[in-house]
Amino acid sequence: DIQMTQSPSSLSASVGDRVTITCRASQGITNDLGWYQQKPGKAPQRLIYAASSLQSGVPSRFSGSRSGTEFTLTISSLQPEDFATYYCLQHNSYPYTFGQGTKLEIK
């Protein structure tokens, strides 16, 4: 199985900050990675697909990148509505696997 190691597990930041969340795959997954945002009591929503493509309707302050087996989600300027939990997901091979999640909290 492919392991997705996500870091950090939690992060405190302020409105306007730039934040970065990382997922490292245990083996190559090409660009078969998505990033999801989940708010309490709600279903996850996809932000990024194919490692770096922005989902329609998602603000441009969200971006994704890839370097080998390391994937990064960047929020360029945090807004109040961005405080949530973020997950990466690899869909390159079964079983699909999620990162452990990053809880983004207000400082």
Among 21, 34, 62, 78, binds another protein (CB under 8 A): 34
Number of residues that bind another protein (CB under 8 A): 23
Which residues 44-103 are close enough to bind another protein by CB under 8 A?
44-46, 49-50, 55, 87, 89, 91, 94-101
Minimum CB separation from another protein for residue 46, in Å? Answer: 6
Measured CA to CA, the distance from residue 99 to residue 17 in angstroms comes to: 23
Category of 26 on φ-ψ map: left (φ > 0), alpha (ψ -120 to 50) or beta: alpha
Provide the CB-side half-sphere exposure for 54 (13 A, CA).
10
Choice between 76 and 83, CB closer to another protein: 83
Check whether the bond before 8 is cis (ω within 30° of 0): yes
Stretch that binds another protein, among 13-21, 28-36, 59-67, 69-77 (CB under 8 A): 28-36
CB-based contact 45:37 (threshold 8 Å): yes
Interface ranges with another protein (CB under 8 A) = 32, 34, 36, 38, 42-46, 49-50, 55, 87, 89, 91, 94-101
